[in-house]
Amino acid sequence: MGFSYPPTEDQLRIISPFYTLLSSDNLLWILRIFSLLLVIASLYLWWKLLNRLINKRIAFISVVIILISPTIFVLWMLHPFDCLKFFLISIFISLAMSIKKKWILFSIIGSCVLILLSSVFTSSERSSFLHKLSLSDAQSDVNIRFGAEDKLTDPVEILLSLKRVSYNKYFFYYKNLINEVIPFFDLETIFYQEIHPLESKSVVLFIWPEIFLFLFGIYFLYRNKYKKLSQFITLMFLISFWNYIFCPNEPYRKFVMILFPISILIALTINEGFKRSIGFMQKSMFIATFIVLMYGIGTNYYDLFNRTSYWLDNRPLFYDFVFKTISEKGVDNYSKIQVSSLVGKTEMYCNFYLKKCDTDKFVFKSFDLTKEKLEDKKLYAGFVGEFIGPDYKNNMNSNWKNMISGNEINIIKIDNLRDTIAYKYGNEIIVGEKR
């Protein structure tokens, strides 16, 4: 069993200038190892910091809790910019602690600026929170609500003056922002990865039995009156919240900074479990929780390795299938090769898998073979909707194989993606040629 997920666009952006020096696969693994070293360096700084704040045992347990998280594994395997951000924030916080009185302000300002810069320069998208800051979105919601209730048939009989009290752009503006913020404070989101309101899945941050260790950790924090540690945990929650609202990426990347403060609270509970003074019942509960936790870690990693498409973005899987199939068929056997550009940087992936993608031979754009003329000695690679025509409901005809064959296309290879990544074009990937 091995983790064979393709490279992400962030990784390709970094390694593409060095293709002449080493093979693309070797460059990818060098980058992954470097990302892992950044994570290890971050955790070392974290251990040193907690060692000063409280003690070695709690510092060590906190580091272990973070390190076993599936999110950390995915981070160094796929997201080098996140690993760099992880490392730089650790440096900011470590430096801030040495300044003593002004460390809180320095940490918050430095980390928040770094998070904003990383969001701007490492992603072309804006966070959903920033989208909701626009009053135009709120105005659109108001129009939709009025349109739904003021239908000609079965209208909702409410006075217009009463509707305007709550159905206005400022109300929806407030409502939209609150909906963006609430998941950060939801324990179900953090420990069970049920991201509301759609309950979409995300890479696991914490294994679910850790929720009990977290709740007991809050109790031990205040029972033992760790004043300075309480301030530090509060600081880390503030930085985590800032990262959550301004990170434009997947949920597990938005939540990743929360691993730091929660790991301390879990470590406090585990530390209590090592004490000889606790009773037989408490020890039994601690051991049972530990066994379930170990089982959860094992099964989660097993599932992550065996059902990668369930947990991670399916777009790189599209390019992995397409370009490996093209490589098997042989680039030189075709005068033209057209690959869909519906889901990402097609040329970037082509250069990774096929080394040199001659622009005279390769065409990187979407197509519609129900409207375009088929060309001899040309290979087509894309979604089923590009072969039989798109559908605005994303419902592809169940007889699509016969429809493609009727269009004089020879299907070379087919794959099916778990998630819909090109709406209107179906989930099946097809590599085909003219008969």
pLDDT tens profile 67-91:
999 999 999 999 999 999 989 988 8
Would you say residue 7 has pLDDT above 90? yes
So what's the pLDDT on residue 397? 83
What are the pLDDT digits (tens) for 216-268?
Answer: 899 999 888 888 889 889 989 998 998 888 888 788 888 999 999 999 999 99
Averaged pLDDT for residues 319-335:
92
Residue type (1 letter), 320: D
pTM tops 0.75: yes
pLDDT digits (tens, 9 = 90+) for 200-219: 668 889 988 899 899 989 99
Average pLDDT, the chain: 84
Q: What is the pLDDT of residue 364?
A: 93
Confidence of residue 1 (pLDDT cuts 50, 70, 90): very low
Nearest to 39 by CA among 80, 93, 90, 83: 83
Spatial distance between the Cα atoms of 195 and 189, rounded to a whole number of angstroms: 5
Lowest mean pLDDT among 57-71, 155-169, 393-407: 155-169
pLDDT given for residue 165 in this prediction: 60
Q: What is the pLDDT of residue 143?
A: 63
Question: What pLDDT does 110 receive?
Answer: 77
- Residue 385's pLDDT is 92
Mean pLDDT, residues 164-179 taken together? 68
Whether 296 shows a pLDDT value over 50: the answer reads yes
pLDDT per residue as tens digits for the range 268-295: 998 887 776 667 777 788 888 888 888 9
Tens of pLDDT, residues 32-53? 999 999 999 999 999 999 998 8
- What would the pLDDT profile of 390-413 be if each residue is shown by its tens digit? 988 888 888 888 888 666 888 999
Name the least confident of 61-65, 136-140, 326-330.
136-140
pLDDT at residue 198 greater than cutoff 60: no
- Which of 11-20, 174-183, 221-230 has maximum average pLDDT? 11-20
Phi then psi dihedrals of residue 247, to 5 deg = -80, 125
Confidence (pLDDT) at 280: 74
Q: What are phi and psi of 261, to 5 degrees?
A: -65, -40
Q: In what order do the strands lie in the sheet with 428-434?
A: 362-364, 336-339, 378-383, 428-434, 409-416
pLDDT > 70 in the chain, percent: 83
User: Over pLDDT 90: what percentage of the chain?
Assistant: 37
